[in-house]
Amino acid sequence: MLRLTGLEAGYDFLQVLWGVELHVEEGEFVALLGPNGAGKTTTLRTIAGLVEPIRGSITFRDKPLSGVAPHQVSSIGIGYVSESLNLFPAMSIYENLLVGAHTVKDKAQIAAQLDLVFQLFPRLHERRDQLAGTLSGGERKMLAIGRGLMPSPSLLLVDEPSLGLAPMATLTAFEALKELHQRGVTILLVEQNVNTTLHLVDRAYVLEQGKIVLEGTGEQLLSDSHVQEAYLGI
Amino acid sequence: MTTATNLRKVPLARRFMTFTWGVIGIVIVTLVVFAFVQPSILVDTLVTGGMWALMAGGLALVFGVMNIPNFAHGELFMIGSFVAFLVFSPIQKAILGDPTATALQVVGPIPGMIIAALVGFLVGVILELLLFQPLRKRNREGWVMNSFLLTAGLSVILINGYRLLFGNDYHGFPRYWDVHPLSFFGVSVSVDRAMVFVIAMSMILLFSVFLQRTRTGRAMRAVAQDETGAQMAGINLNRIFMLTLGLSSGLAALAGAALLSIYPSSPDVGLQPLYLAWYVVILAGLGNVPGAIAGAFIVSLLQTLSVYYVGLGWVDVLPTAIIILILLFKPSGLFGSEVKGVWEQ
Amino acid sequence: MATDTASTSVARTVALTRVRRNRVFAVSLVVIAIILPLIPPFNGQDYQRYLVAAALMAAMATAFDFTAGYIDIVNFGFAAFVGVGAYTAGLMAVDFGISPWIGLFVGAAVSGFVGLLTGMLVLRLRGIYAAVITWFVGLALMGLARNMTQITRGSLGLNVPLLLDSSDNLPYYYIILGMLFVTLGVLMFVIRSRLGLAFRAIGQNLQAARASGINPTRFLVVNFTLSCAFAGWLGGFYAHYYGILTPDIMLTSHTVEILAVAYIGGRGTLWGPAIVAFPLTIGVELMRTQLSALPGLHLVLYGLLLIVVMIYRPGGVAGAIRGVGHWLDRRQEARLDREARLEETAEPTV
């Protein structure tokens, strides 16, 4: 479904990705792991069209994705939940979700997605009129994921959902992602919480210094010595 | 845990709205009081306040959504004023030539205003395409000051371009609607002024409904609060920018057109509206559109009061002193600015 | 290694050449400025009037750039500060009989003081707020000048005694040229000092500067005051050269003219605006006299140039000149590198 080949990308004078190769098949739950500064966020941002690649290709359902503007990416079927969330602080939860559905023409569809989001995150429904800027960290993550879901994406890119969250909130976030995966959404997850992630996903890649260094299923990587040493503290 | 969440449950919006409505309420009370003491103050405040609200609202919108402090905003007023003059001139000749054409007398001024608004909208779109899009592509650093200076240059071009093409003379009409003035609270109000008020109020209403309740209006507010988030939601930034500048310019042009009989067209006609719009926007808080609308009435009241009681000598010094004082205590303006902090530098 | 020492000596040679070249450039500009009014066609009275206006504009643009280019604050009421100096000097002469030469400095002091007050009140605010408030202050000052007619005679105009008794423009030119050199000299000296370093740090990154222990507001105020003082000093010259003052001297469009010159010349360089002021002002004055049927055309051109510079060449003319300098440097560097490598292959010892 999603294929990155020899992807090189960076910012102004700093190249971050040095030939990333990865693929995600329909219905998979794949994780992209690695240390800080490895380029995980850059990878997602490049897929989402926010960073222009220097070299290499990105294809989505066998169609090239380079040159697609960021605002068109969501209509292709890719949803992106960024690390910094990019919520609209002076709008209510409800309005944030509505804006997420900007590209959806069918009102019934919007209502259906709203129901889905509120089902996944009952807290959001409780506080639907509350301004996004006043929410707690966990609620903001939920809202970001919810907003990303509004256009019914087939592929969801999620960047560090557990960042800065208390364990309870992290659990909720991961539960929601698991639920979504079960409903058929393909997910590419960037995370630093290696242990929980590897237990959750089908496959994972390890990205270090802009290159993929390891690839395998969740179990394979959990028992890999490098992963254990570097990321699991074993 | 429960208390904290309960506290958070009072949405910031409600608190902000209370404040704004409170201030509007005070303004209304003051006006009502004055209506019985000095009714003409009420009338003047309402008439001009409405139009400055349109100007200031548009200015605040452009700053909030596009981060552009538009110094050429007054020139859109000038353009609208002149377009209305061009359109209404032949119509007025027709009216004068045929005193029985009542339909023409009633409806006559309207096409001028509509066309002026459309022209203003187009000019806004063109400016975005010709000036700001290239600037955005080439030079993102110091955007706020650079776009400000760019609009300063634009303002000079527009004013002097007008002067070159149409001269320094005033172009206007004594009245749009040549009928008996109405009586309002014992004050004689010309139909022109009454219509200015009606038009301003309806446009403010439409504008607010557009921003709050439509998909595009919501998209505009989204872009104002987080550009990347808006892109992620599928919003085309360039299109929103064109629409925003177009809308803001259209409103300014409409104000110029509606006020043509009170402020005749000339190269410098946009200078006072520019100053007032900026004064309101800085006072209310840059980027805050509802604050700008409310602030316009407050400033209008202050202006009317100072003209009545303080006289012309201090007309420029007093407002400057007031605004410096207010900003010293509340640097983000009376109502605060709730938009992206890109201009923090 | 041989190549290393070779490359450092190349760099040193290039640097020395650059310094020498800059010096030659600066000196030749100064010489040109001094002898220009003696060369036809510049020795005509008309042209000498233009030269005076040009040098005055050059000095004002430099003082403006001192604030806009280094601490990133656009003083949008700048023309009003020039006007304050002008009116002060003029009134000193008219009401108190003070010599114009002293009046210049009184004007500078008063303008500097108003700048100090404005700076203290306004510079706490963020960039765009500060710019707009200085605009308001300028408008207020102009309003005062307009309305305090019993003192300033408002729009009727204030007649001011001239600096010199002769009606010859040439001595005035050398006076204002001297003032230009003083302005440039003082401001450049300040920029190269530690004070200037603080200015640039604040202009580039306010938070970082604060974190390094600099109290930004104090430096902002010093810079602003200095700029306004020079504005007032030059305003004094304006008063005693043109001999008549109206509040229109403080119009915002004049600030925009000065601003345009500063940005077209090259923001943040000081010398860029000074150089560019000459051709621009002379061109404008020519336009004013030759095309008097098209009033305000020069402003349209200023506006267009400003916009073009902002979008396409933010470095202005100074940036272009610097670009030429870099190109020359690189060419010389490449040549010297080649020579050095040839020498090495010829003598593979060391």
What are the phi and psi torsion angles at B170 (to 5°)? -85, 140
Instruction: Considering only the beta carbons, identify the residue of C127, C259, C303 that sits closest to B154.
Output: C303
Q: In sequence order, what are the beta bridge partners of A33?
A: A191, A206
Average per-residue pLDDT in chain B? 83
- What is the average per-residue pLDDT within B60-85? 94
Take residue C231 and report the two structure tokens written for it: 């504005």
Whether residue C73 contacts residue C206, with contact meaning beta carbons closer than 8 Å, is answered with no
Size of interface B-C (CB pairs under 8 A): 136
Residue C320 belongs to some domain of the structure: no
CA distances from C66 to B47, C218, C231, C263, C273 (A): 44, 16, 11, 12, 10
Residue type, A74: S
Neighboring chain A residues of B220 at a CB cutoff of 8 Å: none
CA distances from A155 to A46, A100, A121, A177, A180 (A): 15, 15, 19, 12, 11
Neighboring chain B residues of A86 at a CB cutoff of 8 Å: 226, 228-229, 232
Residue to mutate among B141, B232, B335, with most A CBs inside 10 A, is B232
A98 in contact with B at a CB cutoff of 8 Å?
yes
Give me the pLDDT at residue B314, please: 58
In A, minimum Cα distance to B217 occurs at A99
How far is it, in rounded angstroms, from Cα C14 to Cα C169? 43
Q: Kindly indicate the confidence band of residue B3, based on its pLDDT and cuts at 50, 70 and 90.
A: very low
How far is it, in rounded angstroms, from Cα B182 to Cα B195? 11
Residue C323 belongs to some domain of the structure: no
ipTM, two decimals, is 0.89
- What is the average per-residue pLDDT within A201-207? 89
Give me the pLDDT at residue B22, please: 64
Residue C26 belongs to some domain of the structure: no
Q: For the ranges A22-26, A100-104, A179-183, B323-327, which has the lowest average pLDDT?
A: B323-327
Residue C71 belongs to some domain of the structure: yes
Top-confidence residue, C213 or B51: B51
Q: How many domains does chain C have?
A: 1
C213: left (phi over 0), alpha (psi -120 to 50) or beta: left
Residue C131 belongs to some domain of the structure: yes
B234 in contact with A at a CB cutoff of 8 Å?
yes
How far is it, in rounded angstroms, from Cα C297 to Cα B161? 8
In C, minimum Cα distance to B151 occurs at C307
Instruction: Considering only the beta carbons, identify the residue of A74, A85, A91 that sits closest to B225.
Output: A91
Mark which residues 313-332 of C lie under 8 Å from B by CB.
314
CB contact under 8 A, A71 and B13: no
Give me the pLDDT at residue B341, please: 38
Percent over 90 (pLDDT), chain B: 43
- CATH level 3 topology of B12-344: ABC transporter involved in vitamin B12 uptake, BtuC (1.10.3470)
CA distances from B263 to B165, B170, B176, B179, C214 (A): 20, 9, 12, 19, 50
Q: Where are the domains of chain B?
A: 12-344
Take residue C343 and report the two structure tokens written for it: 């020498």
Residue C47 belongs to some domain of the structure: yes
Give me the pLDDT at residue B9, please: 36
Top-confidence residue, B87 or B23: B87
Q: Is the pLDDT of residue B291 over 80?
A: yes
pLDDT in tens, B219-270: 999 999 999 999 999 999 999 999 999 999 999 999 999 999 889 999 999 9
| CATH number of the domain residue C175 falls in | 1.10.3470
CB contact under 8 A, A89 and B338: yes
How far is it, in rounded angstroms, from Cα B209 to Cα C78? 41
Burial class of C207 by CB neighbour count within 10 A (0 to 12, 13 to 18, 19+) = exposed
pLDDT in tens, B270-285: 998 999 999 999 888 8
For residue C101, give how far its alpha carbon lies from the nearest alpha carbon of chain B (Å). Answer: 31
Q: Is the pLDDT of residue B320 over 90?
A: no
Highest-scoring range by mean pLDDT, A63-67, B203-207, C156-160: B203-207
**DSSP-derived secondary structure for C164-227:** SS---HHHHHHHHHHHHHHHHHHHHHHHHSHHHHHHHHHHH-HHHHHHTT--HHHHHHHHHHHH
> Mean pLDDT per segment of 10 residues, for chain C of length 350 residues?
66 84 88 84 82 94 93 92 93 85 92 94 82 92 85 76 77 91 93 82 73 78 94 94 90 93 92 93 87 81 91 89 88 83 69
pLDDT in tens, B174-184: 887 877 777 76
CB contact under 8 A, A92 and B11: yes
Give me the pLDDT at residue C185, please: 93
Residue where the block lists tokens 């100090």: C116
A122 in contact with B at a CB cutoff of 8 Å?
no
Highest-scoring range by mean pLDDT, A177-186, B77-86, C206-215: B77-86
What are the phi and psi torsion angles at A123 (to 5°)? -60, -35
Residue C29 belongs to some domain of the structure: no
Q: Print the domain residue range for C84.
A: 40-314
Give me the pLDDT at residue B185, please: 64
pTM of the model: 0.88
pLDDT in tens, A162-175: 887 888 888 888 88
Residue C193 belongs to some domain of the structure: yes
Residue where the block lists tokens 């203290």: C120
Q: Is the pLDDT of residue B343 over 50?
A: no
